[in-house]
Structure 1
Amino acid sequence: MPSLSKRTQYFTDSVIRRMTRVSLKYNAINLSQGFPDFPPPQKLLDALASVAYKGPHQYAVTWGAQNFREALAKKQEHFMGRKIDADKEIVVTCGSTEAMMAAMISVSDPGDKVVVFSPFYENYGADAILSGAEPIYVPLHAPDFHFSAAELEAAFQQKPKALILCNPSNPTGKVFSYDELKLIADMAVKYDVFVITDEVYEHIVYKPYKHVYISSLPGMYERTISCSSLSKTYSITGWRLGYIIAPPNIIDRAKKVHDFLTVGAAAPLQQAAMAGLAMDDAYYTDLLDIYTRKKELFLDGLKSLDIRYTKPQGAYYVMVDISEFGYKSDLEFCEVLARDVGVGAVPGSSFFHEDVNDFIRFHFAKSEDVLNKALERLATMRQKIKRRA
């Protein structure tokens, strides 16, 4: 038999999705895979019900239905602060996962290098492998997950083709400051590098922090490929509606890549999702208020239990320090946590390029009742999980 592809031989399954299966196995509260347990806005549900009978039910234009792209352009113009051409500067994708993959393939060739901050969302490593690129990892240093300008420049000096920027960050909840983004932007211009952003949590940024689109910085529009989705903003992770916003020359290439990756995102879901894109600023204020309350409830609970964590500035994740338990494998710890305590988490090592086993990641996109129940179970953690020597 012929051999399978070399580029995929180092793949594992997604550790995040694996921990959902572990949570199900032990009937644990799933604080691993980051999806809400509450419904989308009623306007979206009503629109979806209507579309079920009225359609469309056939292919949309490959790079996104015209009316959806126009609605998306209008919404993002408001937040990004620049005019967006719905025909030339947007590609609608099957979630931001495909958006990132299409962006990577559009700008990189096999053998090119790509800068990735570590810890990172696990898909970025797979994206690099699938596109044939070599990742250069730049560490984000706990507890605030700052980066060293010298370490970043050393990565740029290796002549990468692109840098991947997740802002706000999954898994840490870090929000990059304007000064940090300016430093990244200046180096991107100096070394002639693309920046591919993952901004799916752009509307979940806790005060006093603010989300700044790196594409808005001087000299950056031309070299920024902004990827995002509707998943987290409207609690519709299963709808798989993402997008790329970039200059026309990049979008022209991304359209072709996207066409042969997935053909197009679901037409009826694009039609229904326009109800969300049309909502006013009050919706985004309310969304942030909801997640701020969940964050405060869960983090206050962790603090009361004397469980150490790093405070998120955005998104809905928290990194928890498990070093006191002495486990050499955080994956094993998460299995024990799900089995014996009844709470699911993601081992931090799945996000770090470095040899780090002292963190696990929880998410708090759950109802307050579920979060309180999870905290009740976590209160028994030290009794049920024995420390390792």
Structure 2
Amino acid sequence: MPLPLLTSKLPDVGTSIFSVMSQLAAECGAINLAQGFPDYDPPQALTDALARHARTPGHHQYAPMPGLPRLREAISQKTAAVYGVAAPNPDTEITITSGATEALYAVLAAVVRPGDEVLVLEPAYDLYGPAIRLQGGIPVYVPLRVPEFSPDWDLVKAALSPRTRLIMLNTPHNPSGAVLTAQDLATLAALLANTATLVLSDEVYEHMVFDGQQHASALQLPELAERSFVLSSFGKTYHATGWKVGYCIAPPLLTAEVRRVHQFLTFAVSTPAQHALADVLADAEQYQTLPDFYQHKRDLFAGLLQGSRFELLPAPGSYFQLARYDQISAEADVDFARRLTREFGVAVIPVSAFYHDGLDQGLIRFCFAKRDETLALAAERLRAV
């Protein structure tokens, strides 16, 4: 008897645009400014520490499910120092995850039940919607204001309902690079004051805020922190996206729920990598220098594109740069991105991929987390478009 055909849980979801454009870049020999990863290595202190722990007896077996105690303690101290808050309890409020991606999925799986609504500010990372739907949740999309990509809090207020289980934030924002302000977070806290709505705050680009601004974290407002899951990524902070190590900070009751899922999702994260990160986390210079490091790359790339027909939008955070191309072409952004890759040798991401309905506003996203020489070569090709 033939097996019945499988009914997909995500029938409308294909291969991620990031995989598609990276593969096209490889096929065409193009410079990959599409997928968000650096083309340079982590700090040598970190790779040296990894090598050291890879040779240490006993560091090749499962780490404790919540993460190595010494790494959680280091995160606690760092969080208090950076954000001026009481140190999170490493035993009950910090969980090490397989990248922020796993943390995000674990949060959604822990708290979203069938029929729950989850507010998503669009454009948004393409994981958000499918991960919500896999839990039986209903994504409710609230558009950010273009071109500054700031929230319209009146629209957020109108979208809130008794069924709203969670609102998802992302600051600094992917794909736009926009950053939420302390006033934004205070406004959100006031909107949620008399609700049971939780907050997932995706802050993986927390150390990439430019022009003298400071990152505003949900951890800094007690009325938000008490209902928030705050996600961070060592992969972003240490140029080590392939290590897939992140963490979630949340109050004890919320952390307990995340760990209920995490223990059956990945259980434990790479032991030598956790030891290595614990070794270097005490050196604050490693992350304190990131704003200047990435602002240099943002400004270098913008300067190199002067004289081109791309219109760059403000990029106050993250390592992404949006651009309009209407002076070049009236093509759909997906078609333009493909042609840019094939004919000019630079791969980018069409911003319509960050909208659930494929909204096309004639925008593409560059990743400038690349070596200066990579950016120079890419800009040379882009000036010829």
Same fold flag (TM > 0.5): yes
Q: Which residue of 2 aligns with 1:385?
A: none
1:327, distance to aligned residue in structure 2 (A): 4.1
1:357, distance to aligned residue in structure 2 (A): 4.3
Q: Percent identity?
A: 36
Which range moved further: 300-309 or 206-215? 300-309
Whether 2:171 is the aligned partner of 1:171: answer no
1:324, distance to aligned residue in structure 2 (A): 3.5
Of 298, 302, 305, 1:299 maps to 302
The answer as to whether partners of 1:330 and 1:358 remain within 8 angstroms in 2 is yes
Deviation track 1:87-137 (CA, whole Å, cap 9, x = no partner) reads: 100111100000000011111101110000001111111211222211111
1:3, distance to aligned residue in structure 2 (A): 3.7
SS of equivalent to 1:320: strand
Whether 2:45 is the aligned partner of 1:52: answer no
Residues 63-82 of structure 1 correspond to what in structure 2 (within 5 A)?
A: 63-80=66-83, 81-82=85-86
The answer as to whether partners of 2:309 and 2:383 remain within 8 angstroms in 1 is no
Q: Which amino acid aligns with 1:107?
A: V
Which range moved further: 76-85 or 313-322? 76-85
Whether 2:322 is the aligned partner of 1:347: answer no
1:85, distance to aligned residue in structure 2 (A): 0.7
Whether 2:258 is the aligned partner of 1:254: answer yes
SS of equivalent to 1:161: strand
SS of equivalent to 2:164: coil
Q: Which residue of 2 aligns with 1:362?
A: 366
Of 206, 217, 222, 1:202 maps to 206
Q: Which residue of 1 aligns with 2:320?
A: 317
Deviation track 1:111-166 (CA, whole Å, cap 9, x = no partner) reads: 11000000111111121122221111111111111222221111113631000000
Q: Which residue of 2 aligns with 1:112?
A: 116
Q: Which residue of 2 aligns with 1:380?
A: 384
The answer as to whether partners of 1:229 and 1:242 remain within 8 angstroms in 2 is yes
Inter-CA distance 5–222: structure 2 relative to 1 (3 Å threshold): farther
Which range moved further: 48-57 or 1-10? 1-10
Whether 2:290 is the aligned partner of 1:287: answer yes
Which range moved further: 268-277 or 233-242? 268-277
The answer as to whether partners of 1:121 and 1:171 remain within 8 angstroms in 2 is yes
In 1, the alpha carbon distance for the partners of 2:295 and 2:259 equals 37
Inter-CA distance 305–325: structure 2 relative to 1 (3 Å threshold): closer
Inter-CA distance 269–364: structure 2 relative to 1 (3 Å threshold): same
RMSD: 1.5
In 2, the alpha carbon distance for the partners of 1:66 and 1:232 equals 22
Deviation track 1:227-253 (CA, whole Å, cap 9, x = no partner) reads: 111011111111100111101111111
Whether 2:163 is the aligned partner of 1:159: answer yes
Q: Which residue of 2 aligns with 1:233?
A: 237
The answer as to whether partners of 1:167 and 1:199 remain within 8 angstroms in 2 is yes
Deviation track 1:297-341 (CA, whole Å, cap 9, x = no partner) reads: 111222332411211110010111123344453222111101100
Whether 2:5 is the aligned partner of 1:27: answer no
The answer as to whether partners of 1:115 and 1:164 remain within 8 angstroms in 2 is yes
SS of equivalent to 2:366: strand
1:191, distance to aligned residue in structure 2 (A): 2.7
In 1, the alpha carbon distance for the partners of 2:209 and 2:292 equals 10
In 2, the alpha carbon distance for the partners of 1:54 and 1:142 equals 51
The answer as to whether partners of 1:345 and 1:362 remain within 8 angstroms in 2 is yes
In 2, the alpha carbon distance for the partners of 1:314 and 1:72 equals 22
Q: Which residue of 2 aligns with 1:100?
A: 104
Deviation track 1:35-91 (CA, whole Å, cap 9, x = no partner) reads: 111111111011011112114001011121122211222222222322211110011
In 2, the alpha carbon distance for the partners of 1:353 and 1:11 equals 10
The answer as to whether partners of 2:308 and 2:384 remain within 8 angstroms in 1 is no
Q: Which residue of 1 aligns with 2:41?
A: 39
In 2, the alpha carbon distance for the partners of 1:147 and 1:74 equals 31
Which range moved further: 74-83 or 124-133? 74-83
Inter-CA distance 286–216: structure 2 relative to 1 (3 Å threshold): closer
Whether 2:138 is the aligned partner of 1:143: answer no
Q: Which residue of 2 aligns with 1:335?
A: 338
- Structure 1 gaps of 5+ residues are 382-389
Aligned length: 380
Of 214, 218, 221, 1:217 maps to 221
Q: Structure 1 length as normaliser, TM-score? A: 0.94
SS of equivalent to 2:239: coil
Q: Structure 2 length as normaliser, TM-score? A: 0.95
Which range moved further: 76-85 or 197-206? 76-85
Which range moved further: 31-40 or 143-152? 143-152
Q: Which residue of 1 aligns with 2:249?
A: 245
The answer as to whether partners of 2:309 and 2:327 remain within 8 angstroms in 1 is no
SS of equivalent to 2:129: helix
Q: Which amino acid aligns with 1:133?
A: G
1:276, distance to aligned residue in structure 2 (A): 2.6
1:4, distance to aligned residue in structure 2 (A): 2.4
Whether 2:131 is the aligned partner of 1:127: answer yes
In 1, the alpha carbon distance for the partners of 2:9 and 2:186 equals 35
1:190, distance to aligned residue in structure 2 (A): 2.9
SS of equivalent to 2:322: strand
Q: Which residue of 2 aligns with 1:180?
A: 184
In 1, the alpha carbon distance for the partners of 2:334 and 2:231 equals 30
